[in-house]
Structure 1
Amino acid sequence: MAFTAVVKASPFKVKGMARIASHHPIPSCFAISLFFFMGVEYTLKMVPSSSPPKDIGFLLTENIHGFLSTRPVFNSLLAALNTVFVGMQAVYVGWVFLVEERPRATIAALFMFTCRGVMGYCTQLPLPHEFLSSGVDFPVGNVSFFLFFSGHIAGAMIASLDMRRMKRRRLALVFDYLNALQAFRLLATRGHYTIDLAVGLAAGFFFDILAGKYAAWKSNIMPSGFYQGADCSCCNGNCR
């Protein structure tokens, strides 16, 4: 009876809540998941400090990791191909800046790598014990290894978003596919934790939006150079 009285007195009645859920299913699922993970947070036992970190992505790629650990030549081949993909990202970002005179992707990459450097320095995560290194991986020779967050994933996301703005959808799909393979390899070789990849993906979106806002702001105070005129036919120059 008390619960019924609360429901009737509340401005959010049952029908209203059902209508909200039907019109906004995704936020409603997030709301349900909020309460679920609140329960998980208070019942899940943390990993002891003497144990290695627990990573679901590592568990899912355990067989691939075992396969690569016994085949160092094949592991280096995959590392070399991944380094080529990183080079493709850099070439594309440089091309759109120097040749097409569109600085947004370059600004996003600069913002992203600066933030990654600061965060990687402030919180230095331990390199996984099962990490499979290769001299042809990037960073070359593993000279430095900031784990959080993944610049590989974020850089590819920035390039893919720029391709979509310019209606280069097929090329964007190729980059997305290679990015997924890259993420799988990074997990299998223990080159990144799962959270590094997830945040790297979000960082690509965030810094692309931030660079777009920066470009729009500069276009208002500097109506010349890179920020003047239309950039493409789809958005009257807003996709720079």
Structure 2
Amino acid sequence: MTFTQQDFENVLRSMGDITPGMSPPFPWPTIPCPDEVLSFGSLEVQDWSSAQRRTSQRAVIVVIESPHEKEFTFSTDNDWQANGPLQRRTSFLNHFKARVGNASGVSPDGFVFLINAVRFQCSLGKAMQGKEKVHRQNSKDRDARFRQCWENGADQDFIERITDIYRDDDVIVNACTGTQFGVRRRNGGPPDDLKWMVENAIMTALPNHRPPVAYRRGKKERLLVSDIGTYHPCKWLGNDREAIWPRSS
């Protein structure tokens, strides 16, 4: 693991979330959430390790930004326990096939890999959804922690994991939180929207996964390599909005 629990805790210290005098267990988990693999036909969780990775069936790799609150529980041993990405919401199970699966061309005996770009809970368990000022602030704070993790090794950790999972002709779905074009910029640099930070890392990790395609909307244009860009699974329930981009070539 390139980006460790200690690295994450150091990020939290640098941002003032962990203050002097605080000691584990912290009010939120600082352990990593494991990646998960599901059988496409039943969407049942399967045991998996890189050594057991299938070599023939086409798979869908769904990338989300970082674990949400339901991916961890506080155990009776007075410590945090990781449940895995599938615990986030039943909306993933209810809407995956309709939104992604049927259009992916993956056979019924294929696989779905559900992975977090950053394996640690950047939200610190705080609510993101809602129209109140506190929800917007929580979202900004989550994004800031994500960027700090990304700039301190989490990007390389993600690149190593997706490189290990990916096989030729897999379908990649970028379902990270973010906007269509990542309009926020810092110091004139590239877009720092979470979705586009991850998209750029996918391009770096998988240079042979189809050449990047220029996706244009109005006067704006971005290069992308993933096959489908969609909203975060937490927004799938009762939401019929189209994908942000469906890659056609």
Tell me the TM-score normalised to structure 1 length.
0.26
| More helix per residue | 1
Tell me the TM-score normalised to structure 2 length.
0.25
| More strand per residue | 2
